């Protein structure tokens, strides 16, 4: 059972928009920065968003992040088949003194 709760799966058609939620508490998301990762099959994760909403260089602006209270959201617009992957949120948990990841969300582009 993950400390951060993500939907197991989301799906949408090519060209559409999808959002992935990440729900936590005041000990993690509520008081720490959130980052998001994309993991394509059989590859290492890749940083998509850090500091809640910042994109590393090279990440297209189709990917966006936001945070409100104890929840964070990853948004992906203009969906492409290459976006099919698992997506994870992560942050520091002050009470547990560990990095916590969400359970992951599998994105299917129909």
Partner 1 sequence: QVHLVQSGAEVRKPGASVKVSCKASGYTFTYSYMHWVRQAPGQGLEWMGWINPNGGATIYAQRFQGRVTMTRDTSINTAHMELSRLTSDDTAVYYCATGEVPAAIQYNFWGQGTLVTVSS
**Mask 69-108, x = binds partner 1 (CB under 8 A)?**
-----------------x-x-xxx---xxxxxxxxx----
Burial category of 87 from C-beta neighbours within 10 Å (exposed 0-12, middle 13-18, buried 19 and up): buried
Using an 8 Å Cβ cutoff, are 76 and 62 in contact?
A: yes
46 scored as a contact of partner 1 (CB under 8 A): yes
40 scored as a contact of partner 1 (CB under 8 A): no
| Partners of 27 in beta bridges | none
With CB under 8 A as the contact rule, the residue among 32, 38, 71, 73 that binds partner 1 is 32
Q: How far is the C-alpha of 104 from the C-alpha of 110, rounded, in Å?
A: 19
- Footprint on this chain of partner 1 (rule: CB under 8 A): 2, 32-33, 35, 37, 39, 44-47, 50-51, 56, 86, 88, 90-92, 96-104
């Amino acid at each position: 059972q993950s400390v951060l709760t993500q939907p197991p799966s989301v799906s949408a058609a090519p060209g559409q928009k999808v959002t992935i939620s990440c729900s936590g508490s005041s000990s993690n998301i509520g008081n720490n920065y959130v980052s998001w990762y994309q993991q394509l099959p059989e590859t290492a994760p890749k940083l998509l968003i850090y500091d809640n909403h910042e994109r590393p260089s090279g990440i297209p602006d189709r990917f966006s992040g936001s945070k409100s209270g104890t929840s964070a959201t990853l948004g992906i617009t203009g969906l492409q088949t290459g976006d099919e992957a698992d997506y994870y949120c992560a942050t520091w948990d002050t009470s547990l003194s560990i990095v916590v990841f969400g359970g992951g969300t599998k994105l299917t582009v129909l």
